[in-house]
A and B are shown apart, each in its own frame.
Chain A
Amino acid sequence: MRWKRMAAPLLFLTPAMLGIIVFKMVPILQGVIDSFFQYSFINQKTYFSGFQNYIDALTDPIFLNSIKVTMIFNIIVNPLQVLISFGLGLLLMIRIKGQTTFRTIHLIPITVSFTVACILWGVLMNPEQGLLNSVLNLFGIPNQQFLFDKAQALPSVIGIATWKGVGYWALFFISGLEEIPSQLYEAAAIDGSGPWNTLIHITIPQMKRTVLFVVVSDTISNFLLFVPAYILTNGGPEGSTDFMMFEIFKNAYTYSNVNLASSMIVLLLVIMLAVVGIESMLLGGRDE
């Protein structure tokens, strides 16, 4: 009897589940298995090596540096992006003339592919002839090196990633904000609550689920950041933008060491799960 009721939903879910299993689960499993093997070019065969790859990765100063770079990047960029996109969401909710135009403008970065966006920003940030420097020169500020300076490269990448991401995350906040029943606002207004108070005591608590979703998704996509390192900086200067994904790519495809790269990916996965777990614990809680 219960089977009949479950049949239809199960049937509809099957294609999607199949997709997830084949394209996500199997490669992940394969990667984990690969990480326990090594390949010898001399003998042309693969052999079991236990945790050797993990030890090699964790004793490699370059990989350790990439962990550091990734962590620093994420500690800065995640709160930054969530805050800015939340603020942007609020701004884009205000009923003023031209709001549709403003909303459209902020959606443009989403439509550009990240690769193209990076190339364009690379041109804008060119130390000798870039537009950004020309603008700075107008204010008497000398040419900045941006992506070619050890101290400026990571902040520049943070800037590009934020520019690309905030419009997208703001969309989620807008939809979350629109869900808040207007009666709550009316009640608050009647009780004499000012805009700041309303924000803290009504808006934010109602947005808890949306905030959690954005924080987790943003964290995941930022931990997997790869394109700017690949297109613009090659991990430099001096490894200051050498993200873990970039090291993984290098080990897999430049150094032809897929097994070591697999162990690095597993480590990245573990760190990411830990971070997301902490975020969920802090922001989860029961719906009020």
Chain B
Amino acid sequence: MKVNVESLPFDKMFEAIEVRLGAKEDSIDILLVDAPMVANYTAKGYLADLYSYVGEKSKGNITETSLGAGTIDGKLMALPLNSSTVNLYYNKEIFKEKGIEVPPENVDERWTWEKVVDVAKKLTYEKDGRQIYGLCFEQIGRPYQLLPLAQSLGAEEFVNKDGSKTEGYTNSEEMVKACQFYYDTFNTWNISPRISADDAVSYFTGGQVAMFIGGPWQIPSMTEAGMDFGIAPHPYFEGGEVVTPTGSWYVGVSNYSKNKEEAAKFVEFITTNDDACQMNYDIGKNLPCNIHVLEAIDNDSAYESFPDNSMKLAVYESINTAKARPQMAGYAEWQSVMEKTYSDIMNGSNPKEALDLAVAEIDKQLEKYKK
């Protein structure tokens, strides 16, 4: 038996899923399912029910929340490969060069966004013909990364109860304020580079960014680049709630696969088997959903040193401050319009106007889930 891995960039992968599974092709047996998309893909009939293929013991290996998020109407549609969190990574050299104190590691002393911007302004300068930026998000333009800004300001819902209307929710006051902040980092304070999410981490590992809001899965790249970096907790707005992004990559079996049973067994292995999950963590530094691996990280002395000890921070955030993205059947449409909107805001569009246009477009798209 052989597993052929086909890798596509983030956006193209989503598209390939729509194109190929929408055409009921059997060229994909196993696919990654972004946590908020499990309901969407289930509604479209893309996923096979894994219930009869996965054993009870396997299901007991992973956290209840993560198992639950992959279950729709009692059917097991996908299993979690990993969960995630976001921290503040910083380039120690840049801080040293400007003589500025680095952000503290302690979660009780975490910086506010206001303080981050203040420091970022001081850390945006030109050096040897290269531009150094004070701040950069990893997932530029993506709701995963940017919704917590609004959530920290108090935004609770982004869509109404039955998932059919975003007017008033996605363009709420808190959202507009958060998007204004996002706009300012690029256009008013000029502390962030206008680049795409695909390029963000290489700007950081290339030494052009002082503070990088990203995920632990980027740690291998940072270590490989020989960076002198530090880790601090995710910032929050002064007077607001501490909110961090979370969400997992799930794995599902295509409903059109000719090898459902073999595929399901493979999925079961990589998502629940203790050794596989341990390996997944060791190589990729992805926050695991496997209970035994989580316990090991917490207790095992092998994970005491940097950067593994940052996993404790990750576990803390995922338990205490993490807020998931909105669940709705029309998530794909919502995400697509939001990405376009964030991009326009980064390029200078007025946040309120952009958001108002966005909800109009999204609500029109959501109509097809009503009939």
Contacts and interface: CB of A to CB of B under 8 A. Distances in A.
Does A touch B (CB under 8 Å) in the complex? yes
Contacts of B340: 234-236
B360 A61 contact: yes
Nearest to A233: B343
Contacts of B22: 253, 256, 258
Contacts of B19: 253
Interface stretch (B92-100, B111-119, B265-273, B328-336): B328-336
Interface stretch (A40-48, A157-165, A209-217): A40-48
B292 interface: no
Nearest to B369: A41
Nearest to B360: A61
Interface in B11-45: 14-15, 18-19, 22, 43-45
A40 B361 CA distance: 19
A114 interface: no
Interface residues of A, number: 27
A265 B143 CA distance: 31
Contacts of A236: 340, 343-344, 347
B344 A238 contact: yes
B348 interface: yes
Interface string B248-290: 0000000000000000000000000000000000000000000
Given A237-B349, A250-B336, A128 B344 contact: no
Given A128-B193, A236-B340, A253 B368 contact: no
Contacts of A253: 15, 18-19, 22
Interface in A31-56: 38, 40-44
A13 to B, nearest CB: 31
A62 interface: yes
A234 B332 contact: no
Interface in A213-268: 234-238, 250, 253-258
Nearest to A251: B365
Give the residue among B195, B332, B368 with the most A Cβ atoms within 10 A: B368
B57 interface: no
B371 interface: yes
A246 to B, nearest CB: 11
A145 interface: yes
Contact of B329 (A41, A44, A254, A257): A41
Q: Which of B195, B329, B343, B354 has the most CB of A within 10 A?
A: B343
B142 interface: no
A41 B44 contact: yes
A255 B332 contact: yes
A182 to B, nearest CB: 54
Interface in A6-64: 38, 40-44, 60-62
A148 interface: yes
A148 B196 CA distance: 12
A69 B285 CA distance: 45
Contact of A255 (B195, B343, B365, B370): B365
A166 B221 CA distance: 43
B368 A257 contact: yes
Contact of B371 (A40, A127, A256): A40
Contacts of B364: 60
A41 B15 contact: no
Interface of A: 38, 40-44, 60-62, 127-128, 145, 148-150, 234-238, 250, 253-258
- 4 tightest A-B contacts by CB? A237-B347, A253-B18, A148-B347, A254-B336
Given A41-B44, A254-B18, A258-B22, 7 more contacts: A42-B370, A128-B193, A234-B339, A237-B344, A256-B18, A256-B22, A257-B368
